[in-house]
Each structure stands twice: as C-alpha cells, then as structure tokens.
Structure 1
Amino acid sequence: MKRIGAVAVGVLVVLVGATGVGAWVGSDQAVQVVHYGTSNARVLAVQGGQVTLEQTPETGKPGTYWFEWSGAYSLLGDVVSRAPGRVTRQVVRGATPSVRTPGYFGNVPPGDPKVAWGIDYSEIMVRTELGPAPAWYVPGKGATWVVAVHGQNGRRKAELKILPVVHQLGLPFLDISYRNDEGAPSSPDGLLHLGDAEWRDLEAALRQAQTMGARRFVLYGTSMGGQIIGQLLARSPLANTVDRVVMDAPMIDVRMTSEQGARNFHVPGFVAGFVAGLSDAVVEWRTGVDVDQLSLIRHPPKVRPPLLLIHTVPDTDHPIQEPLDLVAAAAKLGWQIQFEKFDQGEHTEAWNVDRARYDQLIRGFLSQVRDITGK
C-alpha cells in the first residue's frame, strides 16, 4: 500500500508540474511579444507563369496567397497541380521568383499600400501615451475614415486586404500600429495586454485623425484587433464617433480562446478547461488584466454600432463558437450584427479562400456609410 501511495503521489506531482508548465506556456501564447522571421518555403520550379513550391501545410492550401522574398513578391492563385512534395500555383500579380529562392508564403499582403496594391500613401506618426507609433494613411473623400487594427503579434500589412475596396469607394484609410509593434513603443512590462491597454493606442489614432479632418469612423479589426475595437467601444469617449465596425476572426472571449489553445496542444477535453483557466490566471498575474472582462459576450460594449462579423468555420485560433455566442447575445440586446461564415480557411483566411465574396461583403457594408450615401 505504501508503494501504491508513493506512486500515486509521484503521478500527482508530475501532473501538477505538467499542468503548471502548460499554464505558463499558454500564458506565453497569449501575452508574449513575437516578431516573426521571413522564410517558410522554397521555389522548386518556374514555368509559364506558374511557380512550384515545396509542399507544406501552408503552401498546399486552396485560395489566394502571397510569396515574398528579398524585397519582391508574387500574388499566387489557387493550386493548379500537385505532385509528391510539390505544389504548383499560378502567378496572378507581381514578380516571378527564381528557382531555389527561399521566401515566406503567407495570407497577408506584402510591404505597404504602394507595394501591395500600387496605391499611394503617406506614413504618419500617431502620438500615443507611450510615444509615436507609425501608421499608413491613404487619403480619400469625406469625413468618415476607415481605421484598421491588426491582430496579436501581427503587422499593419495584414489589414491591407480591404484597401482596394476602401480606395474604390473613396474613403480615407488609416492602418495603425500599436504598442509592442515593430517601430512602435514597447509596453511598460514588454507584454501584450490582449486589448486591455492597446485600445488607448487606437483612441490616440482616432484623435489624430480628427485633427486631419475625420469626424466619423469605420473600424476594421482582425483577430486581437477586434478585441481592441471592442474595448474602445466599451471605454472610450470617442466610441460614439464610430459609425460601423467590421471584425474578421476576432478575439471575442479570451477564456474561450484559451480553451481552444489548450486543445491545440492536444490537452484532453476534460482537462482543457482547467489548464486554460490556470493559464488565464497566470496571464492576469503577469499583466494585471482582468481576463473575464475581455468577453464581448458577457460584457458587451456600451456603444454597439452595426457590425459585420466574418469568421471561418475551421479557425483553430478563435473557435467558431465565439462568434456564434456573440450573435446570440447580441440578439437579446438589439445589437445589429451581420454574421458571415466561410466554410474554408484557417484563422483570418476568409479573404484568401474567397476573395470575391469577401470584397463584396466589405463593399456592401461600407457603401452604407453616410459619406457615400449622403445621409
């Protein structure tokens, strides 16, 4: 019996230790600042406007993606053929890489507005409480501006997917950075705060836009950018200047996101909730953030403009249940949400898997702003 008891205690110690390590790793996934590298694929062949890449989980995805290398890029269309270890795609736009070129295959546009779409822009510095943060500004007509907010450890270029439609509609476009971004000030503790602090940098951008003639805003946010927008609507005196909102794969509920993160590490379902809860407690201890308050479902913002909510069903960062629960909660509040599901595509890849539909949704939603309708 003593031996059995000792074994049981040993197993318990191992489980507790493993759970603690998992909780810390989970908190790192949530709040650690990461600046990613630039190579994840290699060119194997080039022929007739087509590029053959090494097949990876990324390069074999259906849809439209970018391949960047050494200051150049290609916009690549859908897969046209496959062979063992190889995938061939059509070059839709941009340069054609040489054989053996290493580069980055990803779902966000390259460079800046001029590089990505040939659209002229200027870079302005937003005066945040921590110091200047760069933003891209594309001028337009009227006093309603589209302001874009990227996600966790992302870059401004991720928000450029909607720029062609915004530019065609003639609306001014401001693509911001915020604390801990490359070129922007670091947060005092060097950690992400999941929107709990970052919303103030968005507020600073809106205030600066007002000095440049903006009076109303359409806010566009992807991933954690959606949570940043949600916290601005909940806390900022400028919330009433927001005419409408677009969220693509937003972080709607941090606890639900944490549980999904635990599942991604193959934590059994009956343990995932416990590990996620412990991870959230570590996040709160490290940052001072009240994770429960970062639920747009249980704590909806005080200002709730019309919302276009876009989400892919297979998203393994923010599960589809998050937007489903938000839509259900919004119905009880009279919050106008247009919910659009995409059956394919990973996190923030709705544009990539069906650009035509995505652009049509954005165009239709933005066409209702007062500077376009005249109302």
Structure 2
Amino acid sequence: MASVFRKALVIVLVLVVGAVASGAWFGSEAGVKVVRYGESNTNVLAVGDGTVTLTETHETIKPGTYWLGWTGAYTMLGGIVTRSPGRVTRQVLRGPMPSQGTPGYFGNVPPGDPKVAWGIDFSEIMIPTELGPAPAWYVPGRGTTWFVAVHGQNGRRKAELKVLPVVHDLGLPFLDISYRNDEGAPASPDGLLHLGDSEWRDLEAALREARRLGARRFVLYGTSMGGQIIGQLLARSELAGLVNKVIMDAPMIDVRMTAEQGAWNHHLPAFVASLSNQVVRWRTGVEVDRLSLIRHPPKVRPPLLLIHTTPDTDHPIEEARGLVATGRRLGWNITFEEFARGEHTEAWNVDRARYDHAVRAHLAADRPGNG
C-alpha cells in the first residue's frame, strides 16, 4: 500500500510541476512572443440609413467610438442605436458602408495611415536604428518641438493615430515610429520582445534622426509597452534631457505587476508570474525587476500626463496609481486622468472629448518654445 501511495504521490508531483512549468512558459510567451493580428471578429448582418448591424460580441457592444475594417476599407462607428439577441446596431460616423454579409474586424485603433484615418497628409521616413532601417510616419508641423509616438507590445503605428488630430491642430510635427520586431522593421537578434529593455534604443535612434531633420525638443507619447520604452529612454539615454513633456496611455509601468495580472487573468497562482519572469530572463537576458518605473523611476522626469482606465486587465490600474504615489514622493509633476470605463488603451474610445481635452491642456500648458 505504501508503495502505491508513493507512486501516486510522484505522479501528482510530476503533474503539478508540469502544470506550473507550462504556466510559466505560457506567461513568458505572453510577454516576449512576437504576434501578428488581423482576422475578422464580427459580421455585418444589416446596413441601414447611417447605421450598420453587427454580430453581437464582447467587442461590438462596447460603448464609444470604434472602427470596422474589411478588405482594405474602414468605417468609424459611434454609439449603439439598438440591441437585440445576437445583434447590435451602431451609428456610422464616417467612411464607406460595408455590404450585408461582410466579415470585418471591430477594433479600437484607427485604420491605415494618417491620410486614411484622418485625411492628414504625411510622408514615410526611415529611421536608421542599430539593427537596420525602421519606418516611421511623419506629419509636418510648425517649430522645432516634435511629438513622437510609440506604440505598445505587438501593436502597430496606427494605434497612436487617435491623438493625431489634437497634435496636428496644435501644429506640432508628429513622428509615429516603429521599432524592432514590427512589420517592416528589423527583427531583434533573438526574435523576441524585450519589454522596453532594448526597444528604447530604437526610440533614441528616432530622436537622433528627428534632430538631424530639425527637431530640438520632444514630447513623447506612449501607449501600453510604449510607456515603458519611454521610461527606459528617460532613465538611460543621453537624449533624455531634450524631452519637454510625456504622455502615457495605459502604460506598462511595472512588468512584475503586469505579469501578476496576467496570471490572475488565467486563474493561475501568483507565484507563476514570478516563474514566468524568470523564464523571460532566461530567454532574453532582461532583468524584469529593473523594468519598474515605480521602484526604479527614471533620472529625467518631465511633466507627465498619465491616462489609465480602471477596468484595464492588461496593465492594472494599480500600476498607474503606484507611479502617481512615486511622483508625489519625488516631486514629479504627474497629472493623472483615471477613466472609470474602457478596457486596455480605450480611454479615448469611451470618452474622446475628455481625452482630447486632457492632451490639449497638457501640450498647451507652458508651451515649449518653437525657436
């Protein structure tokens, strides 16, 4: 009997260790794996006078402003007009009308490029990074203070276009960059994301190229992991002193807290997050604990507008609140805009007027000189 019990115990331990190891590997994949997106997630059920009816999903029932993309075309959708079982009808704000039966992708980021999204002319320039050229969208403006936008983990440049109308209206030159592992940009040597620990050097390269083109000062705007990339540039770059202001939207402020949230999302015990971070370190060499702007704030701390939604389950609101507390302790000028609704990076989508006002006020306050 004792022998049977020992065998059973060994089997249980093997299963537990296997499950934990699988969870840790899965957690590391969520952090560092390069992912491409693009499949359809809804269908057009009907088209009306200024409305479109879509399949009811978790995404399509969200209140606010979103986009529907299909076969290269895009439509901006507004609020919900009606709902019935399996169907949701939304207002069409701009763009062509899809045909009934069309599969499409309902998402929270603008489509295409600045011209497609907002009718704003732009050019594409190549940033000479240490790994090779990386494309960036450039919208010209007045003066020598440039607005530089940095997207998040496995994102695309178009994610940063929500803020472009306000920036363009204020006349700031706008540079929307790509970085290693993006589509059209060089891959990292190991083919993995480094959570900002290496990517900040591509942002630095973009600032150097912008200076060559006439920029003298910078406003940096980052969403999700783009916030961590900016934080690492402020901590480690010799160009950090040229940054006048920063805007972060749902940033990855503390990688350890992000990993713990990921474990919680998948109903895994908290210690799996720690193991996942160890796997990330083994796979990439990244010291995850160093990637905390709360415990290791950057040496250069320009005025920061911090935007975050309370329901965010990618980067929990506690990250933002922790950074605000750090700011108070250090005398760091942080303006915190906490939105009660909206998932990850959806503050603009759920309340565009408030979002645009906050960005405009931050950029206009003590406006940096254009000399």
TM-score, normalised on structure 1? 0.97
Query: 1:277 corresponds to which residue?
Result: 274
Amino acid at match of 2:289: D
Query: 2:132 corresponds to which residue?
Result: 131
Q: Once the 2 structures are TM-superposed, how far is the Cα of residue 369 of structure 1 from its aligned partner? A: 5.2
Partner deviation per Cα, 1:253-311 (whole Å, 9 max, x = no partner): 001000100111112xxx22x10000000000000000011000110000000100000
Query: 1:204 corresponds to which residue?
Result: 205
Q: Does 1:91 align with 2:98?
A: no
Query: 1:5 corresponds to which residue?
Result: 6
Amino acid at match of 2:301: R
Query: 2:218 corresponds to which residue?
Result: 217
Query: Is the Cα contact below 8 Å between 2:64 and 2:78 reproduced in 1?
Result: yes
Partner deviation per Cα, 1:323-349 (whole Å, 9 max, x = no partner): 111111121111111011000000000
Which has the larger displacement, 4-13 or 100-109?
4-13
SS at match of 1:220: strand
Q: Once the 2 structures are TM-superposed, how far is the Cα of residue 171 of structure 1 from its aligned partner? A: 0.5
**Alpha-carbon distance in structure 2 between the residues aligned to 1:179 and 1:362:** 28
**Alpha-carbon distance in structure 2 between the residues aligned to 1:261 and 1:34:** 17
Q: CA RMSD, aligned part only?
A: 1.1
Amino acid at match of 1:153: N
SS at match of 1:370: coil
**Alpha-carbon distance in structure 2 between the residues aligned to 1:190 and 1:41:** 31
Query: Is the Cα contact below 8 Å between 2:244 and 2:368 reproduced in 1?
Result: no
Amino acid at match of 1:243: N
Query: 2:330 corresponds to which residue?
Result: 333
Amino acid at match of 2:150: V
Partner deviation per Cα, 1:190-232 (whole Å, 9 max, x = no partner): 0000000000000000000001110000000000000000000
SS at match of 2:133: strand
Query: 1:120 corresponds to which residue?
Result: 121
Query: Is the Cα contact below 8 Å between 2:131 and 2:186 reproduced in 1?
Result: yes
Query: Is the Cα contact below 8 Å between 2:309 and 2:346 reproduced in 1?
Result: yes
Amino acid at match of 1:127: P
Query: 2:21 corresponds to which residue?
Result: 20
**Alpha-carbon distance in structure 2 between the residues aligned to 1:371 and 1:137:** 20
Q: Which runs of 5+ in 1 are unaligned?
A: none
Query: 2:367 corresponds to which residue?
Result: 370
Q: Once the 2 structures are TM-superposed, how far is the Cα of residue 41 of structure 1 from its aligned partner? A: 1.1
Query: 1:312 corresponds to which residue?
Result: 309
Query: 1:175 corresponds to which residue?
Result: 176
Question: How many positions carry a matched residue from both structures?
Answer: 370
Query: 1:67 corresponds to which residue?
Result: 68
**Alpha-carbon distance in structure 1 between the residues aligned to 2:43 and 2:367:** 47
Q: Once the 2 structures are TM-superposed, how far is the Cα of residue 8 of structure 1 from its aligned partner? A: 2.6
**Alpha-carbon distance in structure 1 between the residues aligned to 2:205 and 2:217:** 14
Query: 1:347 corresponds to which residue?
Result: 344
Q: Once the 2 structures are TM-superposed, how far is the Cα of residue 181 of structure 1 from its aligned partner? A: 0.2
**Alpha-carbon distance in structure 2 between the residues aligned to 1:37 and 1:209:** 31
Q: Does 1:289 align with 2:286?
A: yes
Partner deviation per Cα, 1:215-252 (whole Å, 9 max, x = no partner): 00000000000000000000000000000100000000
**Alpha-carbon distance in structure 2 between the residues aligned to 1:145 and 1:207:** 12
Query: 1:81 corresponds to which residue?
Result: 82
Query: 2:167 corresponds to which residue?
Result: 166
TM-score, normalised on structure 2? 0.98
**Alpha-carbon distance in structure 2 between the residues aligned to 1:215 and 1:4:** 72
Quick one: structure 1 residues 191 and 58, their matched pair in 2 at CA, closer, same or farther if it must change by over 3 Å? same
SS at match of 2:53: strand
Q: Which runs of 5+ in 2 are unaligned?
A: none
**Alpha-carbon distance in structure 2 between the residues aligned to 1:103 and 1:200:** 36
Query: 1:49 corresponds to which residue?
Result: 50
Query: Is the Cα contact below 8 Å between 2:24 and 2:273 reproduced in 1?
Result: yes
Amino acid at match of 2:365: Q
Partner deviation per Cα, 1:68-120 (whole Å, 9 max, x = no partner): 11111110001111011000000001111110111110000000000000000
Amino acid at match of 2:161: L
Q: Once the 2 structures are TM-superposed, how far is the Cα of residue 371 of structure 1 from its aligned partner? A: 4.3
Query: Is the Cα contact below 8 Å between 1:143 and 1:371 reproduced in 2?
Result: no
**Alpha-carbon distance in structure 2 between the residues aligned to 1:111 and 1:306:** 31
Amino acid at match of 1:22: G
Query: Is the Cα contact below 8 Å between 1:254 and 1:292 reproduced in 2?
Result: yes
Query: Is the Cα contact below 8 Å between 1:203 and 1:238 reproduced in 2?
Result: yes
**Alpha-carbon distance in structure 1 between the residues aligned to 2:368 and 2:16:** 59
Q: Once the 2 structures are TM-superposed, how far is the Cα of residue 9 of structure 1 from its aligned partner? A: 2.6
Query: 1:324 corresponds to which residue?
Result: 321
**Alpha-carbon distance in structure 2 between the residues aligned to 1:133 and 1:13:** 46
**Alpha-carbon distance in structure 2 between the residues aligned to 1:187 and 1:161:** 28
Query: Is the Cα contact below 8 Å between 1:318 and 1:347 reproduced in 2?
Result: yes
